[in-house]
Amino acid sequence: MPSQNTPVKHDGGRAPFGARLAAAMLARGPLCVGIDPHPQLLAAWGLDDSIEGLRSFSLTVLEAVEPLAAAIKPQVALYERHGSAGLAVLEELLAAAAQTEVLTIADAKRGDIGSTMAGYADAWLRDGSSLAADSVTLSPYLGFESLRPALDLAASNGRGVFVLALTSNPEGASVQHVGGAESVAKRIVQAAAAENQRYSAQALGSVGLVVGATVGSALTDLGIDLATVHGPLLAPGLGAQGATGADMRASFGAAYPAVLATSSRGILAAGPSVAALRAATVETLQGL
């Protein structure tokens, strides 16, 4: 697990995101629960695919997992599909989570250039924004430096980012593996490591990476050393997608202490009972 370094307060009174996440992982375990209100899951819970169903689902998951998980990760697209009312539910969820100890990762996968990227950063990372989360996922495929507005805003106010690096979807390799020994993925990893030099005194830096829990031998094949990143590694794919704690220990090797394993359907399928969701969360934690 990350070291027990005391988080240093940031200029705005908030400790850097990486330090807060390291403390949460140490206290509660390295688990992030995805909040993915798919229509099929809503139906399985006996809820309508409506704003009321979306709100009930979201707040029930938060109630169940916030004492146990280090972070929650609402999938922004599944709120956007309900329009402005869906985004209002997401705002309500983020505000409710902010009153607890659980950290939030807005899974928005934003990426653009110039003033547009600055706008995305303002929405998800600015203090006072109704959509502000503790961190947000970003896509670097217009160039890592295109993310600069989000990187700098997050650093200035103690929030964090998770940059897509090596995903486990079949199509990902057609972009991320290009370049062989100097692959796109490897260069993203190196860029994140460079950003985290500003957090060298912290247990973890605040620039994290998204690395699929089911990437298998890709890290070795591409010569990527995640242990050099000094940032959290968000690893979706635990549970329903087939990855186990043992799989991740083997794949991530020396970087495993920085892994924040993510489970969505594997836990959410236990709902709508809060007690059943908590039991599924505890069982998942025990496997890490």
Residue 39: its pLDDT value, please?
Answer: 98
Going along the chain from its start, the domains and CATH numbers come out as 17-286 (3.20.20.70)
Task: Report pLDDT for 217.
Answer: 87
Is there a contact between 73 and 33 (Cβ–Cβ < 8 Å)? yes
* 3-state secondary structure at position 201: coil
Residue 240 has pLDDT above 80, yes or no: no
pLDDT classification of 85: cutoffs 50, 70, 90: very high
What pLDDT is attached to residue 89?
A: 98
Catalytic residue among 9, 73, 109, 186: 109
Quick check: helix, strand or coil at residue 88?
A: helix
CA–CA separation, 103 and 194 (whole Å)? 24
CA angle centred on 88, ends 22 and 135, rounded to 5°: 20
Contact 140, 164 (CB under 8 A): yes
Q: What is the pLDDT of residues 100-112, one digit of tens each?
A: 999 999 999 999 9
pLDDT at 266 over 70: yes
pLDDT of residue 11: 41
User: Annotated catalytic, 109?
Assistant: yes
Give pLDDT tens digits for 154-167.
Answer: 999 999 999 999 99
What tokens were used for 25?
């992982």
% of the chain exceeding 90 in pLDDT: 86
Whether the per-residue pLDDT at 3 is higher than 60: the answer is no
Structure token pair of residue 117: 């990227």
Average pLDDT, the chain: 93
Q: Which has the closest alpha carbon to 206: 163, 149, 168?
A: 163
Residue 246 scores a pLDDT above 70? yes
Look at residue 138 and tell me whether its pLDDT is greater than 90: yes
**Rounded to two decimals, what is the model's pTM?**
0.94
Q: Which pLDDT belongs to residue 168?
A: 84
Band (pLDDT 50/70/90 cuts) for residue 58 is: very high
Per-residue confidence (pLDDT) for residue 221, from 0 to 100: 92
Q: Is the pLDDT of residue 237 over 80?
A: yes
* Closest residue by Cα to residue 57 from 79, 29, 31: 79
Give the mean model confidence (pLDDT) for residues 224-231: 96
Residue 195 identity: E
